[in-house]
Homo-oligomer: A and B are copies of this chain.
Amino acid sequence: MVPVTTSAAPLSALSADDLAARLTTVRAAYDELKAQGLKLDLTRGKPGADQLDLSNGLLTLPTTYLDRSGTDTRNYGGLEGLAEIREIFADLLGVDVASVVAGGNSSLTMMHQVLTALLLKGGPDSPRPWGQEPVVKFICPVPGYDRHFTMLAELGIEMLSVPMTPDGPDPVAVRALVANDPSVKGMWIVPTYANPTGAVCSAEVAAELMAMPTAAPDFRILWDNAYAVHHLTDVETKSADALGLAAASGHPNRPIMFASTSKITFAGAGVAALAASPENKAWYLQRLNFAAIGPDKINQLRHVEFFGDADGVRAHMRKHRALIAPKFAAVEDALSSRLTGLGIATWTVPTGGYFVNLDVLDGTASRVVALAKEAGIALTPAGSAYPHGNDPDDRNIRLAPTYPVLDEVVLAMAGVAVCVELAALEKLSA
């Protein structure tokens, strides 16, 4: 991730007259934009139809319903998932196959299962169920994934923000929060190509997080490796070895890892997985055993036949990259050609994942989103990357360029750049 810093001719240095003139010009540009009657959407990290087409082979698979052990996958059972799909996840995530559970179509559901089980039952090392504590707090690196935060809010878990740095969550801030407060029970991380900044948690930061002393004996790091293999460049970054680092530092139960094929095959019909220590895995399966008889093993087998092995997944991801890297380049082109030097925005140039993080002039993010909406360009609501949707600086906007076709990304981002500048000029003129 390379944050682009603007450098020359900042708007804030303009005279009142120049500012007024520029506001007139940009307002005219915005009126032209509105006149185009656009209907574009950069809100969600959804794969485009061309990306989904890459996996259409799944629609006529599997060719057999027997797994390699001879088990009839059409019937009940097999709570931990098929061995062959667990092997693929293990390889991709750099963990032992014994640590992996393959589930249904949603890793978000697995995260929710883990949190509700911790609340209702407690983990293997919990003094009592989390729900019986007076208060439970979670550390949230910001900006972060909105669904992580809304899940905590729904479950009554308090959120403590820490800054997301280009190398992962700020370990000093995290350490300060966990050291003495046993009500701080866990934290979220998207370790690789984080939503929305694209940051990659370094091995050093991961090691610190796994080793740090925590007042809570059952501190959990929910390691949502949603974009582990979702590279946008030739550098296919390896995720930090969370399970290995945790075990080595004497906290094997600290991390629980999640991943899925949602942005690999079909976003709605993929396979999700969880990886954890032996004790955590046994605990999870024990809970799951009261809620399910087994995952959709046919869909797991379908994926195994489609990919063959982990290298099949990696080759497939290069096809995704060929389709979406140009969209990310279009975002970068639009922002840098129109905003560089104005001193009103910084943004990320991610090397993987699904998002570009755009920070606009403080206090203008909501206005930018409103202006864009009026011009027919849907953006994620300002603040959504913060707990309770509250960005204290009102500056953060998450851009998701994968779903629209390339021409639409180009159009939309040209429009976004106009909105960013207009909102800044309004603010500076006020």
Chain A residues near B (Cβ < 8 Å): 44, 46-47, 49, 52, 55-56, 59-63, 65, 72-78, 104-106, 108-109, 112-113, 116, 119-121, 131, 147, 150-151, 154-156, 262, 266-269, 287, 290-299
Known A62-B59, A290-B154; judge A77-B108 contact (CB<8 A).
no
Collect the chain B residues with CB atoms within 8 Å of residue A63's CB.
Answer: 59
Chain B residue numbers with a CB within 8 Å of A292 are: 106, 108-109, 112
A-B contact pairs, 30 of them (CB 8 A): A46-B76, A47-B75, A52-B65, A52-B75, A56-B65, A59-B62, A60-B60, A74-B268, A74-B269, A75-B268, A104-B105, A105-B295, A106-B291, A108-B291, A108-B292, A108-B293, A116-B116, A120-B120, A121-B154, A150-B290, A151-B291, A154-B290, A266-B298, A268-B293, A268-B294, A268-B297, A268-B298, A269-B297, A269-B298, A296-B296
Distance (whole angstroms) from the CB of A115 to the closest CB of chain B: 9
Chain B, residue nearest A297 (CB): B268
List residues of chain B with CB within 8 A of the CB of A267.
74-76, 293
* Known interface pairs A108-B292, A119-B120; 4 further A-B residue pairs with C-beta atoms within 8 A, sorted by A's residue number: A55-B74, A106-B293, A108-B293, A268-B297
A122 to B112, CA, bound (A): 17
Contact of A299 among B44, B112, B151, B299 (CB under 8 A): B299
- Chain A residues touching B, majority SS: loop
